[in-house]
Every structure is written in C-alpha cells, then in structure tokens.
Amino acid sequence: MKDEIGCYPFHQNETLKLFQVKFKQNDSTESGILHEEIAMNRRKLCDHVYEVGAIDWNRRLFDSLIPLPDGTSYNAYLVEGTEKTALIDTVEPGKTDQLMRKLCDVEHLDYIVSQHAEQDHSGAIPAILDKFPQAKVISSEKGKTMLTDLLPINPDRIITVSDAEKVDLGGKNLEFIYTPWVHWPETISTYLVEDKILFTCDFFGSHYAASELFTDCDPVVYEAAKRYYAEIMMSFRSVIQKNLKKIDGRKIVMIAPSHGPVYRQPEYIINAYKDWISDSVKNEVVLPYISMHGSTERMTEFLAGELAARNVKVRLFDLTVTDLGKLAIAMVDAATLVIGTPTVNIGPHPLVFAAANLANILRPKFRYISIIGSYGWHSKAVEQLVNLVPNLKAEVIEPVICKGVPQSKDFSALSALADKIAERHKSLTKQ
Ligand code: FEO
C-alpha cells in the first residue's frame, strides 16, 4: 500500500522513514535532499543506466546448501530511454523495500525484464506491478509459464519475446538473447545495444556483497564466481558452451550479472568460464572423507602423501567441518575423485552419501574415481557409492577397503592406487 508521497513503506529502514517524514513535513529543499539520498543509493553504470537492487551483506547460505562467506547481492538495473523506461530483474522478496526506495522517484515504468523466474530475481515483480499499473513484464515463452507458476502475476501483464527480438526505449535498444539453462530452461540475457552492456542474471554471477559496483581482475571475485559456477552452473557445461558461442564476436563493454559486481573487463570472466567448461582436467585429486575411529583418516592422509610424492596435487575435505562451496570449487578442474568412507552398518557414512550425491548432481568432469575406507564386519560401501554417481561417467580405479585398522598390505595397496592415479594423469596431460 502506497503512502502519501507515492512510495511503499520501508519496513526495515528507519533512516529512510525519517527522510520520508522530513520530506512530507518540509518544502522542496527537503524534497531535494530525499532525491539526493535516492540518487546516492543508485549505482551508475553509464548515462541513464543504474543498478538499483539490494546488497545482502549477511546472507550465509544459498539454496539452504552452499555457504556464502561474502554475502551476495540481487542486482536490478534501471534503463531510461527517451521514450520508455525498463527495469531488468528485481530482487529477493525480503529485499523489496530496498528496490522500492531506489525507484521512489520513477514516475513511469514501462517494462520489467524478467531474465530468470527464480525468486531471488523475480520475487519483487508483483510489488513492482502494483506500483506501476501500466508496466508489463517481458520474458521468454518458458519464463511466462514459470513466472505464473511461482508468483501471483496476471499472465495478461506478461509479454514474451523471441530470441534476438529488440525493444526500443528511445535511444536505448534492448536485445533479448536466449541463453537457456543458466541455470533454468527459461533464462535469457539482455544486450543494451547502444552502451554495449550485456545483462546476464545468474550467468557469470558471483555471490559477493560489495559497495563498489565494478570489478576488474579481482581474485576474490574470481573465487566467488567460481564457487557460483560450481554450485549453480557446472551441471550445464555443454549448454554454456553454446551460450558462449552466441555472445562471441559481440562487442561487450560490461557484463552486468544479477549477483555480484559488474565486470568492466568482460573477457576476464568469459575466459574463466571457457576454462571451467573446457574438456581439459588438471593433475589434481579431490578427496572428501569421513573417519569415525581414525582408520579412514590414516588411509586418507597416507594416500595424500603418496600422491604428493608423485607430483599429483591433492585436496582433502573432512566432511564433518568442510565448506561445501570449497569442495565444489575443487571439483571444477580435478581429474580424479577419491572418496574416503568408514562403513556404517553395511553402507557408506551418511555424510559421504550426501557428498557423493552432490558430486553426481553437479556433474564435474572427473575422469577417474576411487574409494578408500574401512569396515568392521561387512561392507557394501563401494557398490553403494558407485551406484550413487552414474552421472560422472568416470573410470573406477580399484578401491582400497580394509577390515579394521589399516595394515601394511593396505598401505601397499594405497601406494599402488597412487601409482595408478599418477600414471593416468600423465596420459591426460599428454592429450
Ligand atoms: Fe540467482 Fe537462479 O537465481
């Protein structure tokens, strides 16, 4: 419900409430202060193009799964043509007040471009449609169905666009590029023709909260973008290849995703994506494990030492304490996955079960997998784990499972496993 000055109330922002009160009570000088405050909160990409979304400094988990050590942002972009105005994406529903504050002096909004129907970008669309009764949502055909499935939006207020279709705002043309499966089937990107800005929503995004709008070649943002890729995009490598081809050759001055900073050197993130989705793998082993009474841990540490002695890089992740985002990042490039598990009853430890399932969902480009661990009286952990990862299409190198604590024959078997892994990795680097 609008207040007396045509703004939605700011439920959580007392400072802005005070500004509203002053604005209502005083003359146009106060009005100037309010508008200055709004302008300060917008972040300018170029003339008549602003970032107007919300920064979520304190969010620590996404999808109730992957930790966000650096928070995140839900970017929304206001593009003002001489004739029409468009908003590209919105924000997480709980951050609607921040978006509304930055749109408070917008008198007329013609379009809300919904590049992706997931609620962290579409959640504020119903409120925006209420505030601007003449506005229409622009989406892909699939996007229309998904938006009406997920949100209370009248389908009559959604217009669909085809691949490469343009909308002229007056001196600012928006071209819609179908870039599906990054990471839902309906996703599109938007190219602002005159300013050569590519808006990509989740594609190229990073969970990284920052007051500064732009990034150049910051390694911290690189890691956040890789974490994002690993969790959200990695399963769709082949489609991403096609999407990258669609934007190849196009002059791009900025890539503006809907999470994290805007890239002023687009080739930095494009080249990173090309590396991550490539078929090549690195001479690395990822080794997530659990140990209950120390046997599996001894085996894990011994194998890690043997691999290192053969110049194979290895990353260990104790699943009782690990950041799943770090584990996912390590999976992006590695040639081999080795899973370490004790046996609980006759199967793998439940946390190992979950990690293997995650690997199967994320579909990293592992070429080889193996399993190490121990059991008390009987184990079917190997069969159960292999059956859990059918998506990996990787060769299974003979597992090493010992009864009780590892003995010298078990350590010999681990050395042999390290030999096999190192040998296979050598053949990969020769390809
Ligand atoms: Fe950022 Fe798929 O939502």
Whole-structure pTM value:
0.90
Ligand 1 lined by 207 (C-beta under 6 Å):
no
C-beta separation of 289 from 300 below 8 A: yes
Could you list the mean pLDDT of each consecutive 10-residue stretch along the chain, which spans 431 residues?
39 37 38 49 96 97 91 98 98 96 96 98 98 98 98 98 98 98 98 98 97 94 97 96 95 98 97 97 98 97 98 98 96 98 96 96 97 96 96 96 97 98 87 49
425: preceding bond cis by omega (within 30 degrees): no
Q: Say whether both 138 and 235 belong to one domain.
A: yes
Q: Say whether both 174 and 297 belong to one domain.
A: no
- Establish if 23 belongs to a structural domain: no
Nearest CA to ligand 1 atom 1: 202
- Establish if 8 belongs to a structural domain: no
Ligand 1 lined by 259 (C-beta under 6 Å):
yes
CA gap 204, 232 in Å, rounded: 11
Host domain of residue 339 = 286-425
Q: Say whether both 159 and 254 belong to one domain.
A: yes
Position 161: which residue type? V
Nearest CA to ligand 1 atom 3: 118
Q: How far is the CA of 226 from the centre of ligand 1 (A)?
A: 15
C-beta separation of 142 from 96 below 8 A: no
Identify any residues that bridge with 166 across adjacent strands, giving them in sequence order: 175
The ligand 1 atom at the shortest distance from the C-alpha of residue 201 is 1
Please count the other Cβ atoms lying within 10 Å of the Cβ belonging to residue 79. 23
- Establish if 366 belongs to a structural domain: yes
* pLDDT computed for residue 137 by the predictor: 98
Q: How far is the CA of 111 from the centre of ligand 1 (A)?
A: 20
- Establish if 33 belongs to a structural domain: no
Q: What is the CATH number of the domain that holds 419?
A: 3.40.50.360
CA gap 234, 272 in Å, rounded: 13
Ligand 1 lined by 59 (C-beta under 6 Å):
no
Q: How far is the CA of 72 from the centre of ligand 1 (A)?
A: 11
Q: Say whether both 139 and 213 belong to one domain.
A: yes
The ligand 1 atom at the shortest distance from the C-alpha of residue 232 is 2
Among 277, 298, 327, residue at a domain's last position:
277
C-beta separation of 289 from 319 below 8 A: yes
The ligand 1 atom at the shortest distance from the C-alpha of residue 202 is 1
* pLDDT computed for residue 21 by the predictor: 36
Ligand 1 lined by 118 (C-beta under 6 Å):
yes
Q: Say whether both 358 and 252 belong to one domain.
A: no
Among 211, 242, 277, residue at a domain's last position:
277
Q: Say whether both 186 and 225 belong to one domain.
A: yes
- Establish if 3 belongs to a structural domain: no
Q: Say whether both 270 and 302 belong to one domain.
A: no
CA gap 298, 28 in Å, rounded: 73
Cα-based distances in Å from 114 to 40, 127, 159: 25, 14, 10
Among 277, 296, 324, residue at a domain's last position:
277
| Backbone dihedral angles phi then psi of residue 392, each to the nearest 5 degrees | -75, -25
CA gap 176, 199 in Å, rounded: 10
Closest CA to 295 of 419, 403, 382, 386: 403
- Establish if 27 belongs to a structural domain: no
* Residues 6+ positions from 107 with CB-CB distance below 8 Å: none
Hunting for tokens 């819609």 — which residue is that?
176
Q: How far is the CA of 382 from the centre of ligand 1 (A)?
A: 35
Q: Say whether both 343 and 214 belong to one domain.
A: no
Ligand 1 lined by 89 (C-beta under 6 Å):
no
* pLDDT computed for residue 323 by the predictor: 94
Nearest CA to ligand 1 atom 2: 118
Ligand 1 lined by 121 (C-beta under 6 Å):
yes
Ligand 1 lined by 116 (C-beta under 6 Å):
yes
Q: Say whether both 239 and 303 belong to one domain.
A: no
- Establish if 15 belongs to a structural domain: no
Ligand 1 lined by 186 (C-beta under 6 Å):
no
- Establish if 246 belongs to a structural domain: yes
82: left (phi over 0), alpha (psi -120 to 50) or beta: alpha
Q: What is the CATH number of the domain that holds 63?
A: 3.60.15.10
Q: Say whether both 209 and 63 belong to one domain.
A: yes
Q: Say whether both 345 and 224 belong to one domain.
A: no
Total structural domains in the chain?
A: 2
